[in-house]
Structure 1
Amino acid sequence: MSLLSVKNITMAFGSVTAVDDVSFELHAGQLLALLGPNGAGKSTCFNVINGQLRPARGSVRFDGHEIAGIRPRDIWRLGVGRTFQVSATFGSMTVLENVQMALLSFGKRLFRFWAPAAGFYRREALALLERVGMAGEAGRLCGTLSYGDVKRVELAMALANRPKLLLMDEPTAGMAPAERHAMMAMTKRLVREDGLAVLFTEHSMDIVFEFADRMIVLARGKLIAEGDSATIRNDEAVRAAYFGRLAQPCMSAGTGTPSNVPLESL
């Protein structure tokens, strides 16, 4: 049985249909990439799954629960973690304190003022930081970290609710190539070790083709393709969505011979 089942979700903003009758499934232990050009509906689809938007119609079932339209905090407590394209950490707090705050929230202790918060979940926070390679930076202020390290802290925070499903919106945006590969290799390890399911959006196609188990592609709100890397590379509808027309053989410079336009060039 699938961990996440999205069926026929539709979301419109006025006369614009951002997500149009989209269906897909995700199983535990899989990395599923959600792809598409700008304006394809990826963020809207994420926000529907995460509860920030209520779909006009359709169903989102997670681990046997219907979650379409319920509050994000309730979805989080069911075991859905999320990282954002713009990192959501507190720059004036230490690395350790950021993760402790996430653990305090999950433990429903944020509004219990009679005990110092710094004493709670310290060992658990350090264990999460160890998993993402940031335990050695626990005492540093988040505002002094490199962008790649901030994303690692955010991932540790996203693991605070012991998620079964992790939603990652552009997890490697703004990173150097080596940092991108390190981040996704670490995510792949978490999937393998914990049996996590991960749904992620990503514009770096080298990352997608190297780490995703499966891919789904949206264009103008509709799901146009689904499959492994070979299937997506050779799908004409995908080429049309990215290039604005079906990719036709083009002339190699100076040779007069045709050569196919590779999807890897995106």
Structure 2
Amino acid sequence: MSLLKVVGLGKSFGGVKAVDGIDFELQAGQLLALIGPNGAGKSTTFNMINGQIRADRGSVSLDGTELVGLPPRQIWRQGVGRTFQIAETFSSLTVVENIQMALLSHQKKIFTFWSPANKHGREQAMRLLEQVGMLEQADRPCTALAYSDIKRVELAIALANEPRLLLMDEPTAGMAPKERNDLMALTKKLVLERNMAVLFTEHSMDVVFAYADRMIVLARGRLIAQGQPDEIRHHPKVQEVYFGTGKTFKLDKTAERAHAG
């Protein structure tokens, strides 16, 4: 049974159909890449699933629960986590304090003068940091981190909600090739360990073809193809949309090794 089911999803802005009746499903334990050229409707689709934009029509259900019409906070409470293209952390806090704040929110707790937040859930926060490879930097301020490490902290923050579905918006934007592959290899490992699902948008085709289990491709608001990476790589309509005709996607050597492994 699919964890996420999207049926007939649509959104118009004025007379423009930004997303025009798309359908797809996502199972637990899978990474699904949502790709398409600029203006394809990726961000609108993403934001409708997350509740930041309300759909005009169609359905988004998570394990049978309808999400359309719910605000982002309630969708988050249903077990939908999110990371952003520009990583968002509390720069004035340490790494571990960022995770502790996320745990407080997840557990619906508040802190007072008599019960400071930095005493809450430190052990659990440290376990999350260990999972994303940031344990040794737990007590450093976020302002002192490299950008790739901030992305790992953001991932740990998202995991504090124990999500069943994780939405990742351009997770490797601004990162070097090795950093991109390290982050996505970690994400794939966590998907399998936690049996969660990940829907991600990404401009790096190396990342997409190396790590996605399945792909959906949008163009001008419509779904033009879906399937496994090898199917999408040779799909004539996808090639036409991205390149014109006569070309196919190629991976760099780092991504090729990851794909082979």
Q: TM-score range by the shorter chain?
A: over 0.9
Q: Is the 8 A contact 1:95 1:142 kept in 2?
A: yes
Superposition map of 1:175-254 within 5 A: 175-243=175-243, 245=244, 247-248=245-246
Q: Is the 8 A contact 1:11 1:20 kept in 2?
A: yes
* Counterpart residue number, 1:37: 37
Q: Is the 8 A contact 2:51 2:71 kept in 1?
A: yes
Between the aligned partners of 1:264 and 1:153, the Cα distance in structure 2 is 31
SS at match of 1:60: strand
Superposition map of 1:20-169 within 5 A: 20-110=20-110, 112=112, 114-169=114-169
SS at match of 1:184: helix
Q: Specify the structure having the higher radius of gyration (Cα).
A: 1
Matched residue count? 252
Q: Is the 8 A contact 2:29 2:196 kept in 1?
A: yes
Between the aligned partners of 2:216 and 2:45, the Cα distance in structure 1 is 12
Q: Gaps spanning 5+ residues in structure 2: where?
A: 253-261
Q: Is the 8 A contact 2:103 2:160 kept in 1?
A: yes
SS at match of 2:68: coil
SS at match of 1:240: helix
Q: Cα deviation per residue 1:118-142 (whole Å; 9 max; x = unaligned)?
A: 1111111111000000011011111
TM norm structure 2: 0.93
Deviates more, 1:112-121 or 1:28-37: 112-121
* Counterpart residue number, 1:264: 250
- Give the drift of 1:262: 2.1
RMSD: 1.4
Q: Gaps spanning 5+ residues in structure 1: where?
A: 249-260
- Give the drift of 1:24: 0.1
Between the aligned partners of 2:14 and 2:39, the Cα distance in structure 1 is 15
